[in-house]
Copies of this chain bind each other. A is one copy, B any other.
Amino acid sequence: MRQLCKGNVAVIKGAILAGCRAYYGYPITPASEVAESAALYIPQVGGTFLQAESEVAAINMVYGAASAGLRVMSASSGPGLSLMQEGISYLAGAELPCVIVDVMRGGPGLGNIAPEQSDYFAMVKGGGHGNYRNLVVAPASVQEMADLTMLAFELADKYRNPAIVLCDGFVGQMVEPLELVDREPALPEKPWAVKGTAETRNNLVTSIFLEPDVLEEHQRQMEAKYARAQQDEPRFELYQAEDAEVLLVGYGIVSRVLRSAVVKLRLQGIRAGLFRPITLWPFPSKALAKAAARVQRVVVVELSNGQMVEDVSLALKGGSPVEFYGRVGGNVPSVEEIESKVLAHAVAV
- A interface list, Cβ under 8 A from B: 39-40, 43, 48, 50-54, 56-57, 60-61, 64, 77-79, 81-83, 85-86, 88-94, 104, 106-114, 116, 118-119, 121-122, 125-132, 196, 206-220, 223, 304-305, 307, 310, 313-314, 316-319, 327-331
Q: How many copies does the complex hold?
A: 4
Whether A209 contacts B108 by the Cβ 8 Å rule is no
Question: A92 contacts which chain B residues (CB < 8 A)?
Answer: 108-109
Q: In the complex, which residue of chain B has the Cβ closest to the Cβ of A330?
A: B212
Question: A330 contacts which chain B residues (CB < 8 A)?
Answer: 212, 215-216
Question: A129 contacts which chain B residues (CB < 8 A)?
Answer: 77-79, 81-82, 104, 107-108, 118-119, 122
Whether B107 contacts A130 by the Cβ 8 Å rule is yes
Whether B106 contacts A118 by the Cβ 8 Å rule is no
Whether A89 contacts B79 by the Cβ 8 Å rule is yes
Question: A319 contacts which chain B residues (CB < 8 A)?
Answer: 318
Whether A112 contacts B210 by the Cβ 8 Å rule is yes
Contact of A114 among B91, B212, B310, B313 (CB under 8 A): B212
Question: A94 contacts which chain B residues (CB < 8 A)?
Answer: 109
Whether B119 contacts A130 by the Cβ 8 Å rule is yes
Contact of A127 among B90, B127, B196, B214 (CB under 8 A): B127
Contact of A53 among B48, B57, B104, B327 (CB under 8 A): B57
Contact of A83 among B40, B85, B91, B104 (CB under 8 A): B85
Whether A208 contacts B114 by the Cβ 8 Å rule is no
Tell me whether A39 and B196 are in contact in the complex, defined as CB-CB below 8 angstroms, given that A110-B207, A207-B110 are known contacts: yes
Question: A210 contacts which chain B residues (CB < 8 A)?
Answer: 112-113
27 contacts between A and B (CB under 8 A): A56-B83, A77-B129, A79-B86, A79-B89, A79-B90, A82-B129, A83-B83, A83-B86, A85-B85, A90-B110, A93-B107, A93-B111, A94-B109, A108-B129, A109-B207, A110-B206, A118-B129, A118-B131, A119-B130, A122-B127, A122-B128, A122-B129, A131-B328, A217-B329, A219-B329, A310-B310, A318-B319
Whether A122 contacts B126 by the Cβ 8 Å rule is yes
Whether B305 contacts A109 by the Cβ 8 Å rule is no
Whether A216 contacts B329 by the Cβ 8 Å rule is yes
Smallest CB separation, A165 vs chain B (Å) = 15
Question: A121 contacts which chain B residues (CB < 8 A)?
Answer: 125-127
Whether A214 contacts B329 by the Cβ 8 Å rule is yes
Smallest CB separation, A108 vs chain B (Å) = 3
Given A57-B57, A216-B330, 8 more A-B residue pairs with CB atoms under 8 Å apart are A48-B48, A50-B61, A56-B83, A83-B83, A85-B128, A111-B215, A116-B130, A214-B329
Contact of A318 among B43, B116, B318, B329 (CB under 8 A): B318
